[in-house]
Amino acid sequence: MMTESHLLLHGTCVSVGGAGVLILGAPGAGKSGLALRLIDEPGYGISGLLLRGELVADDQVVVTRVADRLMATAPASLRGKLEIRGLGIVSLATLPSVALALVVKLQDHSAIERLPDGRSFDILGLALPLVEIDASMASSPARIRAALNWLKLPPAARETVALRHG
């Protein structure tokens, strides 16, 4: 930890369609691998709009509260670096920062509720939507894009979509 308005987290951050996704999980859970898939595989989620991923930070993420937003950036020593298991640390273009919109907690699929109520993750006094994902599932990047699309819908539209598919 740094100060009240800054926090250093063990995680990875990717901008997906301009929305910051903070990926958290135990060491070896697949944070960097999932980030690589989000960067390498643009997709549509449930919106029909193509969403591309861009790396912001890998391994450590500095989160700063700016008024009612949480901004993520990489520590200077790790900026522009991504660990690719079996290959090593690679350099690539990154975004300098992004406003966080979603927290993804990596879990084994057997521990994830099929139909959870809305969950949140508090950082520096602000709550962000939280989803649990199994990074080993082929659909993991699509689920993250779908979650970002879902969160942009007004609550009444979310309920309508849930009723149609429930």
- Catalytic machinery residues: 10, 31, 59, 114
**Dist. CA 94–CA 81, nearest whole Å:** 8
What token pair was written down for 58? 């890998």
- To 10 degrees, what angle do helices 140-152 and 31-40 make? 70
List Cα–Cα distances, 116 to 3, 126, 132, 145, in angstroms: 33, 21, 10, 17
**Dist. CA 81–CA 11, nearest whole Å:** 13
